[in-house]
Structure 1
Amino acid sequence: MCSNIKKKYRLYRNYFRDYKESNKYQVRCFNTLIYDMNTYLSRKHTPNHWLYRFIVDRVGIHKYTKKKLSIFGANGYREAITLNKDKFKLFYTAENIHDEGSWWTQYEDLLIQEQSVSLSLGFDYITNPQYLRFPFWMMVHFDPEDNYEIIKQKCQALSYHRDIDVKDKFCSFICRNDYNGDRKFFYDLINSIDKVDCPSTFMHNDENLLLKYNNDKRAYLKKYKFNLCPENSNFEGLVTEKIFDAIYSGCIPIYWGAENNPEPDILNSDAIIFLKKGDNSSVLNDIEYLYKNKNEFIRFTSQARLKAEAPEIIYNSFQQLERKIIQIIS
């Protein structure tokens, strides 16, 4: 009984906090992380949430309706969606909602049967008129206003960005937690070759990300030959921004997740090193060989990281999202 009262109190407190922050805008945000809400009002006192900018600046919601649209993330109580009475509702997740025992499993159905939810966005490969696959990494590495030419330029930079001459460190590993013990398993493997630098809360052993790079993750990663970037859980289609951060910074990604088939239409798997939950002896030998042989390292990193059709696929996703939102609010 007491736990239910506490839950209800937190639900209402968080909901009305978000309501107060965003109520004066036509597009409002709920169930986001605290730092997302801080970002929400950072751009000249107007919302800076990626989906807000897409809906307001790119789509131009005001051209189609005067009614409000609410965006819901997965970092809050599902009941907040019922509390909200707006005409249009959009749900998105940057988390693995299928990770058993986690907070996010309350959203495992992606709300695609909820009549009040207009559209859901996630990692899953699902065919449903109320759902669109729009993985979170697109929101991290591309801006909502990007047109095809800008997306093409960014993909070119991602695919061939190297800075090999400045890479004088072995491997970095940036993550906050380890829900299932998988990340510790992979950390121990790579750390057996040479010291892995961990500047975040998990296995913390390095202060440079904060003190030298002011928490600029990409600038920090540029000094490293490799970046250990496993997902927090393994599920088909679940690809976060981690592997793309490694690629952007010119590191060789050492990856686990998405059934070791991350974004097969976009990423060149030959330019990625894959780990598995099992015997990784041959993989460790390959990493050590690349680490100690500069010419082989250069050869490996000279590969295109993205496939040639990546810009078109990403741009088509932007167009699909735009069409879906217009269809909803028209």
Structure 2
Amino acid sequence: MKFIKGKKVFYSGEYLQEMTINNQWRAFADHCVNEVDLALGFDYIDHPNYLRFPIWLLFFIHPQASFKDIKQKIELINNPAYRLNIKKTAFTCLISRHDTNGIRRKIVNGFNEVDIITCAGKFMNNSDELINLEKQLPRNYKKGEFSFDVFYTLKKDYLKKFKFNICAENASSRGYISEKLFDAIESGCIPIYWGGGDKKEFVEPDIINPDAFLYYEEGKEDELIEQVKKLNSDKKEYESFMSIPPFQGTAAEAIWTMLQEFENRLKNL
């Protein structure tokens, strides 16, 4: 990296500290702030070369979106009619390739006593439905791979059939919030979430309403399972929970500010 001419930018959307899913990534835990002109990540680092830019921004917001586009999207999702009018035909889904820390398996095993969890990814797979849909996607003729944008749209459309979505992160640390929580919200699911550190210190306070999702805490599984049972069986309770706006009233402005700061930092390079 030191021998590359020109401006240098480091970016990671993954967790790079202890308990990372790849131990080699720990070498970049400081986000190379002293070696690059701009470092980006989810973490909180006090350094003039660093800007917090969590990965969910890349998934939730179109690169060419205007402030008006963002505000309209937030208002649409916050409208209870949007979420309640999505027809739900199944209980809960988990889409994951792995479970490095064992949290996802614990959540699935716990909620299987309520109803069968559909595991549509490689981890604990018990359904070929999503895999078969993937096979129908258009592919890149050179690499034999399908477009990630197309797959991502397919994933969110698939989630719409489920009342709940288990969306546990690879690690739980303050600031580490990926696209998983946002996918569940946009798809009209009630997120069963783990990550981002302690819920009481949950970041993105100007964006996400913490009352609009369920938070998994080890040692409090029974309480959470009872809550899910009630929401799953009681229509009024379910509709009441789904009427809670998942985004704060300041969400559009907060997101726009993050994007504008990112754009300004790039221009200043």
Q: Normalising by structure 1, what TM-score?
A: 0.71
Task: Evaluate the alpha carbon distance shift between residue 258 and residue 186 of structure 1 in structure 2; reply closer, same or farther with a 3 A threshold.
Answer: same
| Contact residue 243 and residue 253 of structure 1 kept, 8 A | yes
The structure 1 residue matched to 2:160, chosen from 198, 206, 222, is 222
Give the equivalent residue in structure 2 for 1:155: 74
1:286 aligns with 2:227: yes
C-alpha separation in 2, matches of 1:231 and 1:108: 18
Q: 1:266 aligns with which of 207, 218, 243?
A: 207
Tell me the residue number matched to 2:108.
187
Amino acid at match of 1:180: N
Aligned AA (1:246): A
Matched, 1:326 2:267: yes
Other structure's SS at 1:247 match: helix
- Matched with 2:182 is 244
Kept after mapping to 1: 8 A contact 2:83/2:188: yes
Distance 2:224 2:13 in 1: 29
Contact 1:164 / 1:298 at 8 angstroms: preserved in 2?
no
Change (3 A) 1:314 1:246: same
Per the alignment, residue 128 of structure 1 pairs with 47
Whole-Å Cα distance in 1 between the matches of residues 67 and 261 of structure 2?
13
Query: Looking at CA atoms only, which structure, 1 or 2, has the larger radius of gyration?
Result: 1
CA distance in structure 2 between the aligned counterparts of 1:165 and 1:150, rounded to whole angstroms: 22
Q: CA RMSD in A?
A: 1.5
- What residue is the counterpart of 2:91 in the other structure? 170
Aligned residue for 1:196? 117
Find the residue that maps to 2:78 and give its secondary structure.
Answer: helix
What's the counterpart of residue 118 of structure 1? 37
- SS of 1:186's equivalent in the other structure is helix
Q: How many residues align?
A: 245
Deviations 1:75-106 (A, max 9, x none): xxxxxx345x1301111111001133633211
Provide the rounded CA distance (Å) in 1 between the counterparts of 2:75 and 2:224: 28
AA aligned opposite 1:177:
H
Is the 8 Å Cα contact of residues 266 and 307 (structure 1) preserved in structure 2? yes
After TM superposition, the score normalised by the length of structure 2 is: 0.87
State the distance in 1 between where 2:17 and 2:112 align.
30
1:31-86 residue CA offsets vs partner (Å, 9 max, x unmatched): xxxxxxxxxxxxxxxxxxxxxxxxxxxxxxxxxxxxxxxxxxxxxxxxxx345x13
Shift of 1:159: 2.6
Contact 2:86–2:160 (CA<8 Å) still a contact in 1?
Answer: no
Q: Offset at 1:126?
A: 2.4
CA distance in 2, matches of 1:146, 1:223: 27
Look up the equivalent residue of 2:37 and give its one-letter code: S
Report if the CA contact (8 A) 2:86-2:188 is conserved: no
